[in-house]
C-alpha cells in the first residue's frame, strides 16, 4: 500500500470494518468509510479529529442501488481515484432453510452479495482506466465449510466468492487485483446483531449441534484489529493471492472439510444419536464438542 493511498471500506461502524478503517488511516491513507447512520458517522469523525486521521464517513444503505450511486458521486467529488475497496459489510441470518422466511434470505443476499457487487462496480471503471487497484471482499470459512442452520449466510458468501472469482478473471489483464479473505470466527457484533429463526420440532437437535460446534471454536476467535492487520498487509503485496484464509479455526476446518467427500459430510450430519455423532465429529475435525 502506497503512502496516502485512497481506500473505500464498507461496514465501517464496528468490527472488522471499523478496525480496517482505523488501520489504513493510521498508516497514512485516506479512507472513505461507509456507515448506516449519522451517529456512526459522528463516532468516526470524532476518532479522526482526535487522532489526526483522514477518514471521510459516507452514510449509505448498500441494499439501495440509488443510494450507492449517490454515495459514490459524493466520493468522486472528493477524489479522482480509489486504490482499494475493502468490501466488508455483512449480516448473519441463522436458521434451518425450512425455518427462514424468503424475505430474510433476500436480505442476506442483498447485503452480503449484491451490496458487495454494487460497490465493486462503482470502483472498477476508474481502477481499470488507471491500470491498477485492489478489491478485497471479506468472506467467511462458511462459504466452503457449511454448517446446518447457517445455509443462508453460507450461500450469500459462496455467491460472493463465485462472482469475485469471475471478476478476477475479467479485470486481471487491466492491472486490477481481486482478493477474497475467508475469515474464521472474529469477535464482532455480527452474531449479536444476527437474525436467528427458532427451530421447529424437526430441527431442535440440529440447532443444538450447530451451536455446540460454533461454541467449541470460540477460544480461537480473532480480534478485529488482527484481521485488519492481515488485510492491510495483503494490500501491500505486489502480487496478492486471490484467496486468503485468516484464523486458525478456518485453516483447520477448511482443510478437514476438503478431505471429505460431499457424501461423507452429509452422512456425518445424518448420525442420529449424540454420542456417535460427537465421536465422529472429533475424529473428523479434530476438536471436541459439548453435547
pLDDT digits (tens, 9 = 90+) for 112-156: 999 999 999 999 999 999 999 999 999 999 999 999 999 999 999
Tell me the HSE value of 31 on the side-chain side, using a 13 A CA sphere. 34
pLDDT band at residue 1 using 50, 70 and 90 as cut-offs: very low
Mean pLDDT taken over the chain: 95
Cell triple for residue 51?
Answer: 487522532
Q: Give 51: exposed, middle or buried? Use CB within 10 Å, 0-12, 13-18, 19+.
A: exposed
- CB atoms inside a 10 Å sphere around CB 97: 12
CA dist list (Å): 116 to 26, 85, 182, 219: 25, 10, 15, 30
Domain for residue 271, yes or no? no
On whether residue 130 sits in a domain, the answer given is: yes
For every residue of 52-99, DSSP letters joined together read: T-EEEEEE--TT-HHHHHHHHHHHHHH-S--SEEEE-----EES-GGG
Q: Which grid cell is 192?
A: 449479536
In the chain, count of helices (H) and strands (E)?
11, 9
- Catalytic residue numbers? 153
d(CA 43, CA 269): 44
Give me the percent of the chain exceeding a pLDDT of 70.
97
3-state secondary structure of 196: strand
**What would you measure as the largest C-alpha separation in the chain, in angstroms?**
61
CA distance linking residue 249 with residue 232, whole number of Å:
21
Q: How would you classify residue 210: left for phi > 0, otherwise alpha for psi between -120 and 50, otherwise beta?
A: alpha
User: Is 163 a domain residue?
Assistant: yes
pLDDT at 184: 96
Residue 48 lies inside a defined structural domain of this protein: yes
**134 φ, ψ (degrees, to nearest 5):** -145, 120
**What is the rounded CA–CA span in Å between residue 241 and residue 210?**
31
Residue 47 has pLDDT above 50, yes or no: yes
In a domain, 214, yes or no: no
Quick one: average pLDDT of 276-287? 97
pLDDT one-digit tens code per residue, 79-122: 999 999 999 999 999 999 999 999 999 999 999 999 999 999 99
The predicted model scores a pTM of 0.94
Instruction: Give residue-wise pLDDT tens across range 216-260.
Output: 999 999 999 999 999 999 999 999 999 999 999 999 999 999 999
Tell me the CATH number at 51: 3.40.50.720
Number of domains in the chain: 1
Q: Which of 25, 35, 38, 16 is nearest to 187 (CA)?
A: 16
pLDDT, one tens digit per residue, over 164-202 is 999 999 999 999 999 999 999 999 765 555 567 777 889
Confirm whether 1 is domain-assigned: no
Res 2: pLDDT: 44
CA distance 68 to 115: 9
- Say if 279 falls within a structural domain: no
Instruction: Please indicate, yes or no, if residue 276 is contained in any of the structural domains.
Output: no
Range of the domain at 116: 6-205+221-255
Residue 121 grid coordinates: 462496480
Nearest-angstrom CA–CA distance, 90 and 17: 10
Amino acid at each position: 500500500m502506497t503512502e496516502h493511498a485512497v481506500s473505500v471500506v464498507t461496514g465501517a461502524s464496528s468490527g472488522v470494518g471499523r478496525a480496517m478503517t482505523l488501520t489504513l488511516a493510521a498508516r497514512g491513507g485516506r479512507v472513505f468509510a461507509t456507515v448506516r447512520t449519522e451517529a456512526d458517522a459522528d463516532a468516526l469523525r470524532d476518532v479522526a479529529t482526535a487522532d489526526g486521521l483522514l477518514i471521510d464517513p459516507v452514510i449509505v444503505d448498500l441494499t439501495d442501488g440509488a443510494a450507492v450511486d449517490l454515495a459514490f458521486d459524493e466520493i468522486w467529488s472528493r477524489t479522482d481515484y480509489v486504490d482499494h475497496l475493502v468490501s466488508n459489510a455483512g449480516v448473519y441470518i441463522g436458521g434451518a432453510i425450512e425455518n427462514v422466511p424468503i424475505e430474510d434470505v433476500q436480505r442476506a443476499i442483498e447485503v452480503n452479495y449484491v451490496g458487495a457487487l454494487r460497490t465493486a462496480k462503482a470502483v472498477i471503471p476508474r481502477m481499470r482506466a488507471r491500470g491498477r487497484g485492489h478489491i478485497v471482499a471479506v468472506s467467511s470459512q462458511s462459504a466452503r465449510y457449511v454448517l446446518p442452520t447457517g445455509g443462508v449466510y453460507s450461500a450469500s458468501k459462496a455467491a460472493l466468492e463465485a462472482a469475485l472469482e469471475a471478476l478476477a478473471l475479467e479485470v486481471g489483464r487491466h492491472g486490477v487485483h481481486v482478493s477474497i479473505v475467508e475469515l474464521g470466527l472474529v469477535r464482532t457484533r455480527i452474531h449479536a446483531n444476527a437474525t436467528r429463526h427458532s427451530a421447529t420440532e424437526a430441527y431442535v437437535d440440529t440447532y443444538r449441534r450447530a451451536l455446540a460446534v460454533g461454541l467449541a471454536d470460540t477460544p480461537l476467535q480473532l480480534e478485529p484489529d488482527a484481521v485488519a492487520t492481515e488485510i492491510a498487509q495483503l494490500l501491500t503485496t505486489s502480487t496478492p493471492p486471490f484467496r486468503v484464509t485468516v484464523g486458525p479455526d478456518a485453516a483447520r476446518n477448511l482443510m478437514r472439510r476438503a478431505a471429505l467427500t460431499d457424501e461423507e459430510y452429509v452422512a456425518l450430519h445424518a448420525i442420529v444419536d449424540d454420542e456417535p455423532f460427537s465421536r465422529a465429529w472429533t475424529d473428523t475435525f479434530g476438536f471436541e464438542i459439548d453435547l
